Structure 1
Amino acid sequence: MSVESSLTLGSVPVDTGRSRSIGRRILGRAARATGFRIGLGLLGVLVLATVLYPELSGLDPGKMDVRARLLPPLFAGPHWSWAHPLGTDQIGRDMLVRCLIGLRYSFLIGGASTALTLVIGCALGMVAGYVGGRTDAVLMRITDAQLSIPMIILAIAVLGVSRPTIPAIILVLGLSNWPVYARVMRSVAMAERGREYVRAAQVSGATHARIVLTLLTPLLVPPILFTSVLDIARMMIFESTLGFLGLGVQPPTPTFGNIIADGRKYLLNAWWIATMPGVFLGLTLIGLNLIGAACERARNAIHGGA
C-alpha cells in the first residue's frame, strides 16, 4: 500500500485513497457533461449580473419615481426607456435591479439553509448509523417525527408567529429538511462500519470520533454534497413561496416572492412586474438542476462501477 493512499491510525495503515478522491471523481465526471457546462455558464452569468449590475448602474432598488411608473421592458412596448431595460413597477422602481437584488437574497437563503440541513442531517445520520443500538433508535424516532411535519406547514407555523428575518427563514428551512440526509447517511454509515478499514482502525486503538471524522466523513459526505445542489433549488422555491405569502423577507427589501405578490394586481396592464422575477428564478433553477442532475448521474455511475 502506497503512502499516498494510506493513513495510519495507531499502528495500522488504512486505505483512504477512495475517501480523498471520490469528490474529485464525481466532479470530474460531471464536468464532462454538456448539461453541467450549460448550467454552470448560466449560473455564472446570473451571479456576475447579481454582483456587478446593481453597483455599476447606481440605481437604488427602493427608489420611487412616479414619473417613470409602469414603464414596459425594452421589447414590450413603445414607451420603454434605456434607463430601465426591464421596465419599472407601479411606483417607478427599476425591475432589473430589484430582480437581481432578489436573486442575491434567494441565493443566500437557499445556500445557507441547505448547508445547515447538510450539517445537521449528515452529523445525526452518521452518529445513528455508526453507533447503532439505542442511540440509533432514539435519533431515528426523532427523524420520523420531523418527517411527519410538511416543510411548508412548519415554516408557516413558525414564521407566522415570529418576525420573518433572514436568519429565522434560514433556520426554519434548514431544520425542516435534515431528516432526508439523516436517513441516507445512516444507511451508508451502517454499511461502512463493518468494512475492513474501519475494523482495522478500531483494533489499532483509534477513537470512534476519529474514525468518523477522519475516515467516514471524507468518504460519505462528498456524494451527498454534490447532489445537494438540487436542494438549493428547492429551498429557493420555498423562500419565494414564503415571500409570496408575506412570510418571507419583508418589504422594502426586494425578493422574488414579494415582487410577484405586488405584481399580481397588475397582470393585465403591467405583466412584467410579476413575470420578470419568475423568469430570473426559472433560469436559476434550470442552471442548478442541470448541475445537480449531472453530479447525481456521475455519483451513481461511480458507485455503480465501484
Structure 2
Amino acid sequence: MTAAPRTIMLQSMQRPKRRRKASLRIWVPIGVIVLITLGAIIIPMLYNYDPLKSDLVSRLKPPGTTLPDGSVAIFGTGQIGADLFAEMMAGARVSLIIGAATLLIAGVIGVLIGLLAGYYGGWLDTVLMRVADIQLAFPAILLAILLASVLGQGVMNVIIVLSISNWVVFARVARSQMMSLKSREYVEAARTLGLSDGHIIFRTLLPGCLPPILVVATVELGHVILAEAALSFLGVGVPLGTPSLGNTISTGTQYLATAWWISTLPGILLVALVLATGILGDAIRDRFDPRLRSA
C-alpha cells in the first residue's frame, strides 16, 4: 500500500474519534451546567430552604448525618444548622441569575457599542475604544470591588457592577467582527440597494458577528460567576441574608479546622460550574472557528 492511500485511510479512521471527542467536549459541560441549574431551581424548594432559619441543635454536622427530624444532611449542615446541600443550590441559583442578567446587560451594551464603532469608524470609534482602553487599564476585579464599595451590597448592585466591568469584552469582539465584515460584497450590495445603516448593521452584519459573541458569552458566564463569588467572599457583594456560594465559602473559613465541608463543598461546586462554562466556550469556539482550534 502506497503512502497516500495509507494516509487517507488513517485520516478516515481518526475522524470519528475527533467527532466523538468534540461531542463530549460540548455535551459533558452542557450536562454539568443543566444539572446544576435544575438543582438550583428544584432543591431549595424540596428542602423548604430558608436562609434566615436557624437550627442550633443541628449546626456543624458532618456529611451524611441524620438530623433530629429524620432527614439526612447529605453534605452536612452549616454554622446556623441549615442543610448545606440546599444552601449550596440556593447560592448557585443566585449566582446563575446574576450571571445571566450581567451577560444580558453587558452583552447588549457592549455589542451595540462595538457594532457602531466598527461600522462608522472615525471619531466615534476613537472615542469609544479609548474609553474601553481606559477601563482595560484597571484590573477587572479591582474595578468591580471599587464600584461595589461605592454602590453597596445587593443583588442588583452586583449585576450593575459586573455589567460595567464586562461590557468591554463584548464591544471589542463585536467591533473586530464588524470591521472584518463591513467590506464584504454582500454589504456593498446592500448599500447599493439603498438599505439604511440600521438595516445593514442589525439585519445584514449582526448575524455574522454572533458566533464569536456567543463564544465570549459562554466563557464570560464562568468569569462573572467567579467574580460574584469573589465580591461576596470579600463582603461587598450579595448581603449575608441572601444565599451565595461566596458567602458560604467565606463563612466556612472560620470553621476549616472543625467543619471543613462548609467551605470545601461549595468551592468544588463553584469550580465545576466555572470549568464547565470554560470548556463549553472553548468547544464552541472550535466548532465555529476551526482556525482557532486548540490542540
Shorter-chain TM-score tier: 0.7 to 0.9
Instruction: Name the structure 1 match of 2:256.
Output: 267
Instruction: Name the structure 2 match of 1:11.
Output: none
Change in CA separation of 1:202 and 1:134 when aligned onto 2, cut-off 3 Å: same
Instruction: Name the structure 2 match of 1:154.
Output: 143
The alignment status of 1:103 with 2:96, answered yes or no, reads: no
Aligned counterparts of 1:273 and 1:214: Cα–Cα separation in 2 = 50
Give the alignment partner of residue 33 of structure 2, picking from 28, 39, 43. 43
The alignment status of 1:252 with 2:230, answered yes or no, reads: no
Amino acid in structure 2 at the alignment position of 1:230: V
Aligned counterparts of 1:288 and 1:188: Cα–Cα separation in 2 = 23
The alignment status of 1:184 with 2:164, answered yes or no, reads: no
Give the alignment partner of residue 223 of structure 2, picking from 213, 222, 234. 234
Superposed CA deviations along residues 88-137 of structure 1, whole A, max 9, x for unmatched, are 11221111111000000111111221222221221111111111111111
The alignment status of 1:301 with 2:290, answered yes or no, reads: yes
Instruction: Name the structure 2 match of 1:64.
Output: 54
Deviation at 1:283, TM superposition (A): 1.8
Give the alignment partner of residue 163 of structure 2, picking from 164, 174, 178. 174
Residue pair 2:25, 2:283 contacting (<8 A) in 1 also: yes
Identity of aligned residues (%): 37
Superposed CA deviations along residues 268-297 of structure 1, whole A, max 9, x for unmatched, are 010111112112112212222221121011
Residue pair 2:49, 2:87 contacting (<8 A) in 1 also: no
RMSD of aligned residue pairs (Cα, Å): 2.0
Deviation at 1:32, TM superposition (A): 5.3
Higher-RCO chain (CA-CA 8 Å, sequence separation at least 6): 1
Instruction: Name the structure 2 match of 1:15.
Output: none
Deviation at 1:248, TM superposition (A): 0.8
Q: TM-score, normalised by structure 2?
A: 0.86
Instruction: Name the structure 2 match of 1:124.
Output: 113
Deviation at 1:302, TM superposition (A): 7.5
Change in CA separation of 1:133 and 1:277 when aligned onto 2, cut-off 3 Å: same
Relative to structure 2, which stretch is displaced further, 162-171 or 263-272?
A: 162-171
Aligned counterparts of 2:274 and 2:115: Cα–Cα separation in 1 = 30
Residue pair 1:61, 1:97 contacting (<8 A) in 2 also: no
Q: Could you say what secondary structure the match of 1:98 adopts?
A: helix
Q: Could you say what secondary structure the match of 1:244 adopts?
A: helix
Count how many residue pairs are aligned between Structure 1 and Structure 2: 272
Residue pair 2:170, 2:216 contacting (<8 A) in 1 also: no
Structure 1: segments with no counterpart, 5+ residues: 1-28
Amino acid in structure 2 at the alignment position of 1:189: M
Instruction: Name the structure 1 match of 2:7.
Output: none
Give the alignment partner of residue 86 of structure 1, picking from 75, 88, 103. 75
Instruction: Name the structure 2 match of 1:33.
Output: 23
Aligned counterparts of 2:279 and 2:146: Cα–Cα separation in 1 = 33
Aligned counterparts of 2:241 and 2:145: Cα–Cα separation in 1 = 21
Amino acid in structure 1 at the alignment position of 2:244: T
Aligned counterparts of 1:181 and 1:31: Cα–Cα separation in 2 = 29
Instruction: Name the structure 2 match of 1:25.
Output: none
Aligned counterparts of 1:30 and 1:134: Cα–Cα separation in 2 = 48
Residue pair 2:60, 2:79 contacting (<8 A) in 1 also: yes
Instruction: Name the structure 1 match of 2:186.
Output: 197
Deviation at 1:225, TM superposition (A): 1.4
Superposed CA deviations along residues 56-95 of structure 1, whole A, max 9, x for unmatched, are 2224333211111111001xxxx55443211111221111
The alignment status of 1:145 with 2:131, answered yes or no, reads: no
Deviation at 1:46, TM superposition (A): 1.4
The alignment status of 1:291 with 2:280, answered yes or no, reads: yes
Amino acid in structure 2 at the alignment position of 1:261: S
Aligned counterparts of 2:263 and 2:53: Cα–Cα separation in 1 = 19
Q: Could you say what secondary structure the match of 1:194 adopts?
A: coil
Q: TM-score, normalised by structure 1?
A: 0.83
Aligned counterparts of 1:43 and 1:169: Cα–Cα separation in 2 = 22
Deviation at 1:267, TM superposition (A): 0.2
Relative to structure 2, which stretch is displaced further, 182-191 or 103-112?
A: 182-191
Q: Which has the higher helix share?
A: 2
Amino acid in structure 2 at the alignment position of 1:236: I
Give the alignment partner of residue 207 of structure 2, picking from 185, 194, 218. 218
Relative to structure 2, which stretch is displaced further, 241-250 or 155-164?
A: 155-164
Deviation at 1:149, TM superposition (A): 2.1
Amino acid in structure 1 at the alignment position of 2:158: I
Amino acid in structure 1 at the alignment position of 2:276: G
